[in-house]
A and B are shown apart, each in its own frame.
Chain A
Amino acid sequence: MEILLAILVGILYTAGVYMILRRSIVKFIIGIIFLSNATNLLVFLASGIVSGKPVFVGEELADASQMADPLPQALVLTAIVIGFGIVVFTLALKFKFFELTGTDDLDQLKKTDT
Chain B
Amino acid sequence: MLNILLIYFFLSLLIFAVPSKVFKYKAIVLALVQLVIFVYFFTKIPIITDGETLISKISWIPELGLNLSFVLNGLSLAFALLITGIGSLVFIYAHAYMKSYANTDRFFFFLFLFSGAMLGLVLSENLIQLFIFWELTSFLSFLLIAFFHEKESARNAAFQSLFITGFGGLILLTGIILIGGVVQSYSLTEWINNADEIRSSAFYLPGLILILIGAFTKSAQFPFHFWLPGAMQAPTPVSSYLHSATMVKAGFFLLASLNPVLGGTVEWTYIIPLFGVITMLVGAYFAITQTDIKAILAYTTITALGILILLIGVDTKLSIKAAILFLFIHAFYKATLFMVAGLINKKTGTRELSKLGGLAHYMPITFVVALLALFSMAGLPPMLGFLGKELVYEANVQSPGIASLILILGVAANVLMIAVSLFFLKKVFLGKKGNYSKNPNEKGLFIVGPALLATLSLFFGLFPNILGNSIIEPAIQSIFLETYHIKLKLWHGFNKVFYLSLFTVALGTLLFYLIDKYPKLLENWRKINNKIFTIKFVDVFSNVMDNFIVFSKRNNRVIQHGYHRYYLLTIIVVTALLLWFQVFVTRGWELPAKLSFNPFYISGLIGIIMVSAIFSAISKSRIATIIAMGVAGYGISLIFLYYSAIDLAITQIIVETLTVVMFVIVLQKLPRFAKLSSKATKIRDLAIALVFGSVMTVLALKAIRLELNYPISDFFVENSYLKAYGKNVVNVILVDFRALDTLGEITVLTIAALGVFVLLKKKKV
Chain A positions within 8 Å of B, measured between CB atoms, are 1-24, 26-27, 30, 33-34, 37-38, 40-42, 44-59, 61-62, 64, 67-71, 73-74, 76-78, 80-89, 91-96, 98-100, 104-107, 109-111
Q: Are A18 and B662 in contact (CB under 8 A)?
A: no
Stretch at the interface among B269-277, B411-419, B430-438, B704-712: B704-712
**Residues of B contacting A21 in the complex (Cβ-Cβ under 8 angstroms):** 565, 568-569, 572, 685, 688-689
B669 contacts chain A at the CB level, 8 A cutoff:
yes
Q: Are A89 and B756 in contact (CB under 8 A)?
A: yes
Give A34 Cβ to nearest chain B Cβ, in Å: 6
B170 contacts chain A at the CB level, 8 A cutoff:
no
Q: Can you sample 22 A-B contacts with CB below 8 Å?
A: A1-B598, A3-B701, A10-B696, A13-B693, A18-B686, A27-B625, A40-B648, A45-B703, A46-B704, A52-B642, A55-B728, A57-B727, A58-B727, A59-B721, A64-B710, A71-B733, A77-B648, A80-B655, A84-B655, A95-B669, A95-B759, A98-B670
Take A105-B676, A106-B565 as given contacts and tell me if A51 and B642 are in contact as well, using a CB distance cutoff of 8 Å. yes
A39 vs B669: C-alpha distance when bound (angstroms):
30
Q: Are B647 and A73 in contact (CB under 8 A)?
A: yes
Take A5-B606, A64-B710, A71-B713 as given contacts and tell me if A10 and B733 are in contact as well, using a CB distance cutoff of 8 Å. no
- Residue of B592, B692, B714, B752 near A88 (CB, 8 A) is B752
- Residue of B616, B700, B760 near A46 (CB, 8 A) is B700
Q: Are B676 and A22 in contact (CB under 8 A)?
A: yes
A85 vs B718: C-alpha distance when bound (angstroms):
32
Take A58-B727, A93-B759 as given contacts and tell me if A104 and B671 are in contact as well, using a CB distance cutoff of 8 Å. yes
Q: Are A57 and B720 in contact (CB under 8 A)?
A: yes
Q: Are A34 and B616 in contact (CB under 8 A)?
A: yes
**Residues of B contacting A54 in the complex (Cβ-Cβ under 8 angstroms):** 644-646
Specify the chain A residue showing the minimal Cβ separation from B619.
A27
Q: Are A98 and B669 in contact (CB under 8 A)?
A: yes
- Residue of B617, B645, B689, B714 near A64 (CB, 8 A) is B714
B550 contacts chain A at the CB level, 8 A cutoff:
no
Take A8-B610, A30-B625 as given contacts and tell me if A80 and B694 are in contact as well, using a CB distance cutoff of 8 Å. no
Give B506 Cβ to nearest chain A Cβ, in Å: 71
Give A11 Cβ to nearest chain B Cβ, in Å: 5
Specify the chain B residue showing the minimal Cβ separation from A62.
B717
B55 contacts chain A at the CB level, 8 A cutoff:
no
B748 contacts chain A at the CB level, 8 A cutoff:
yes
Is the interface on chain B under 10, 10 to 19, 20 to 34, or 35 or more residues? Answer: 35 or more
Specify the chain B residue showing the minimal Cβ separation from A17.
B689
Q: Are A3 and B593 in contact (CB under 8 A)?
A: yes
B597 contacts chain A at the CB level, 8 A cutoff:
yes
**Residues of A contacting B622 in the complex (Cβ-Cβ under 8 angstroms):** 26
A70 vs B179: C-alpha distance when bound (angstroms):
54
Give A33 Cβ to nearest chain B Cβ, in Å: 6
Specify the chain A residue showing the minimal Cβ separation from B673.
A24
Q: Are A62 and B674 in contact (CB under 8 A)?
A: no
- Residue of A5, A68, A92, A104 near B760 (CB, 8 A) is A92
A-B pairs, top 7 by smallest CB distance, nearest first, are: A14-B693, A10-B697, A46-B703, A6-B700, A68-B644, A85-B752, A18-B689
A13 vs B645: C-alpha distance when bound (angstroms):
22
Residues 714-753 of chain B, each 1 if its beta carbon lies under 8 Å from chain A, else 0: 1011101110000111100110001001100100110011
Give A4 Cβ to nearest chain B Cβ, in Å: 5
**Residues of A contacting B686 in the complex (Cβ-Cβ under 8 angstroms):** 18
Take A5-B639, A26-B622, A59-B721 as given contacts and tell me if A78 and B742 are in contact as well, using a CB distance cutoff of 8 Å. yes
Q: Are A67 and B717 in contact (CB under 8 A)?
A: yes
**Residues of B contacting A68 in the complex (Cβ-Cβ under 8 angstroms):** 643-645
**Residues of A contacting B738 in the complex (Cβ-Cβ under 8 angstroms):** 74
